[in-house]
Amino acid sequence: MIDVFVAGLRANSCTVSGPMNTDEARATVVERASAHLLVACNDDVPLPALVDGLRQRGVEVLTPGDPAWAERLADAEVGITGARLAVAQPSAIALAAAPGAPRSTSLVPSVHICVVRVDDLLPTLADAMIGVAAGEMPSALTWIGGPSRTGDLEMITTLGVHGPRAVEIVLLD
Amino acid sequence: MLQRALHNLDRRLRTAGESAAAHPDWKDRAAAIRRETLLDLDGWLDRLEHSLVARGVHVHRASTPADARRVVVELAQARGARTVVKSKSMATEEIDLGNALEDAGLTSVETDLGEYIVQLAGERPSHMITPAIHKTLPQIRDVLAKEAGTDLAVDREALTAWARDRLRGEFLRADIGITGVNFAAADTGTLVLVTNEGNGRFCTTLPRVHIAVMPVEKVIPRLADAGILLPLLTTHATGQALSNYVTMISGPRRAGEVDGPDELHVVFLDNRRRTLLGTRYEEMLACIRCGACLNVCPVYRNVSGHAYDSVYSGPMGKVLTPLLSGGTEGADLPYGSTLCHACSDACPVKIPLGDMILALRADVPDPHSGARRRRRIFWTVWARAWSTPSGYRLTTALGRVSRGRVPGLQAWTSTRELPRPARESFRDRWAKEHA
Ligand code: SF4
């Protein structure tokens, strides 16, 4: 199931790393983000001490509780989020909006890094929707299959039209 | 151009044929869900309204396009809105909402890249899923460069980057985001929106108010049904196993959340749809607007979307346009069909489009019976002329002299190209080369 998930995401122009443990995942995310000046990070990322790790590397971190969030988000180059769940077929991750998990973290910055727990992966969308519908719905549940794309220019795919140009998934086991 | 773009699409759709949603059983399940909905459409709508209201959503019922326009314009005016960002939606095209907003003094910006290009060019979309499919890259460059006021390269990435920056500004400025709805689940009160570019997400994230225009047949009984219908829709629309972004919205922003709209309004649009219930056209309301019937239609592939002169084109447009207008619009469309039934075979929810097109010929009188008589006279004259060698030579010579510019044909040539006659006839060349 993990293989199907990873293959599907890669076919959709995502980068995928893992499955790996918490320390490795934290190191991977910090490494990836350290090339950027300002990074937005949701509270639902399942990696303890991630924000400190980023700050130690000299990266400025914007969190949803920050009063300057709305104003400064447009300057963030990377958005880091967790995921409520993921499905292997068709391959997609699902993000639930919540006070610590704004919708725009995965939308406004050019790069979206999503940390997904392997335990949250379900085989198919049809199965997943039965469970989702039975639970409490968040104000917005956003399914993401890959970077923002358009086929509007002569039906040839172009990435990054409104949302992120790159989606990087880090799998956590 | 259209041929090339459709060819690219064909290739993608063929590779998607391997996905689960292309399986016949999957179509049966989807067709069953849609028909279950239609059996008690009013009941499901009441349930949907109830669930939405319980989530703090405002529901407005509009029976005509004019009612729907009035609801949206009044909401915008009451909030002192100036700019509206729109995400591509056939429903807002159907009620011509963009123009209504502009007439009311608001700025309305289409944010789907294809739709944005078409809006800047002052045209209308030619395909449901890819509105600018009729335009080549250099043509698109010209349209965007004119808006930019500077030169832009004929380069996909560069043009996309320019549009991204320009539209970002619009999203930040906008007071209201307007979208359609792909499905609305009656049990949970959830709106399901499908996009690839992310503009739909912006429209439902940044502006303070979100208004969704929902044709009544978009209701589905259960949110779980979306697990079946979504992969089916995207597989048949663009060949993707799932579209890039699917947003499931259950009410406005909640306490403590830092983004999302404060207010969410849904406009149920009827526009004669409910009068189709119980008629032989009822199943047309099962349509999920995937565009598969357009892509396989031999007529659509040759004449492109503009030739239909209606919001909905292709086979589904031939059926829907006369039905939604009560026969006053598009009554001639059912005649522009080869009745090959390729559309019926392609339709993922098994709508018998071919049968409906044929039935409409009987049910909606052809407004062009006068034109048909003229056509008969033309063909009689033509048959006479071309049955003698001298008549043939005379008419083809006239054709060459006029270079295909035949007076009185503008109605035809404004949306189609007339074949250009060769500079020299075969007879002349033969005579010259064998002299
Ligand atoms: S009629 Fe069928 S094939 Fe055509 S757009 Fe609707 S659902 Fe798709």
Nearest protein Cα to ligand 1, atom 4:
B293
Contact B263, A139 (CB under 8 A): no
Question: What residues 13-72 of chain A have any CB closer than 8 A to a CB of chain B?
Answer: 64, 69-70
Residues 6 or more apart whose CB falls under 8 angstroms from that of B245 comprise A142, A143, A144, A145, A148, A163, B193, B194, B195, B196, B198, B200, B201
Nearest by CB to B256, which of A99, A129, A144?
A: A99
Mean pLDDT over the full length of chain B: 85
Single residue among B334, B363, B392 that ends a domain in this structure = B363
Q: What is the total count of domains within chain B? A: 3
Query: In angstroms, what separates the C-alpha of A105 from chain B's closest C-alpha?
Result: 10
Tell me the C-alpha distance between A165 and A156, whole Å: 16
DSSP A22: H
Question: Do B205 and B242 lie in a common domain?
Answer: yes
Query: Which positions in chain B touch A163 (Cβ < 8 Å)?
Result: 197-198, 201-202, 245
Query: In angstroms, what separates the C-alpha of A119 from chain B's closest C-alpha?
Result: 20
Nearest atom within ligand 1 for CA of residue B290: 8
Search chain B and give the residue with CA nearest A145. B244
Q: What does the block give as tokens for B130?
A: 């890819």
Length in residues, chain B: 435
Question: Do B301 and B325 lie in a common domain?
Answer: yes
Tell me if B293 CB under 6 Å of ligand 1.
Answer: yes
pLDDT at B26 over 90: no
pLDDT at B189 over 60: yes
Question: Do B234 and B335 lie in a common domain?
Answer: no
3-state SS class at B184 = strand
Identify which of B188, B193, B196 has the alpha carbon closest to the alpha carbon of residue B177: B193
Identify which of A92, A70, A96, A69 has the alpha carbon closest to the alpha carbon of residue A82: A96
pLDDT digits (tens, 9 = 90+) for A122-153: 999 998 999 999 999 999 999 999 888 776 66
Return the amino acid letter for A144: I
Domain range for B93: 2-268
Burial class (CB in 10 A: 0-12, 13-18, 19+), A134: exposed
Nearest by CB to B205, which of A107, A125, A130?
A: A107
Number of alpha helices (DSSP H) and beta strands (DSSP E) in chain B: 20, 10
pLDDT at A44 over 60: yes
Tell me if B291 CB under 6 Å of ligand 1.
Answer: yes
CA B394, B397, B401, B402 torsion-angle sign: positive
* Yes or no, beta carbons of A142 and B246 under 8 Å apart: yes
Nearest atom within ligand 1 for CA of residue B284: 1
pLDDT at B410 over 70: no
Tell me the C-alpha distance between B296 and B294, whole Å: 6
Query: Which positions in chain A touch B231 (Cβ < 8 Å)?
Result: 90, 125-126
Mutate to test the pocket of ligand 1, among B300, B349, B355, B356 (most ligand atoms within 8 A of CB): B349
Question: Do B104 and B6 lie in a common domain?
Answer: yes
Query: In angstroms, what separates the C-alpha of A50 from chain B's closest C-alpha?
Result: 21
Which band of pLDDT confidence, cut at 50, 70 and 90, is reported for residue B416?
low
Single residue among B233, B268, B303 that ends a domain in this structure = B268
Return the amino acid letter for B293: C
pLDDT at B252 over 70: yes
pLDDT digits (tens, 9 = 90+) for A67-92: 999 889 999 999 999 999 999 999 99
pLDDT digits (tens, 9 = 90+) for B68-87: 999 999 999 999 999 999 98
Question: Do B337 and B384 lie in a common domain?
Answer: no
pLDDT digits (tens, 9 = 90+) for B304-329: 777 777 788 889 999 999 899 888 88
- What pTM was computed for the model? 0.85
pLDDT value, residue B17: 47
CATH fold label, A2-172: Rossmann fold (3.40.50)
Which band of pLDDT confidence, cut at 50, 70 and 90, is reported for residue B3?
low
Identify which of B216, B192, B188 has the alpha carbon closest to the alpha carbon of residue B40: B216
Question: Do B347 and B394 lie in a common domain?
Answer: no
* Lowest mean pLDDT, pick from A48-52, A97-101, B303-307: B303-307
Question: What residues 151-170 of chain A have any CB closer than 8 A to a CB of chain B?
Answer: 151-156, 158, 160-164
Query: Which positions in chain B touch A92 (Cβ < 8 Å)?
Result: 242, 246
CA B27 / ligand 1 centre spacing (Å): 12
pLDDT at B381 over 70: yes
Query: Which positions in chain B touch A150 (Cβ < 8 Å)?
Result: 113-114, 160, 196-197
Cα A100–chain centre separation? 14
Question: Do B284 and B326 lie in a common domain?
Answer: yes
Tell me if B347 CB under 6 Å of ligand 1.
Answer: yes
pLDDT at B23 over 70: no
Contact B279, B99 (CB under 8 A): no
Question: Do B262 and B314 lie in a common domain?
Answer: no
Mean pLDDT of B287-304: 86
Single residue among B217, B237, B268 that ends a domain in this structure = B268
Mean pLDDT of B53-59: 97
Question: Do B254 and B282 lie in a common domain?
Answer: no
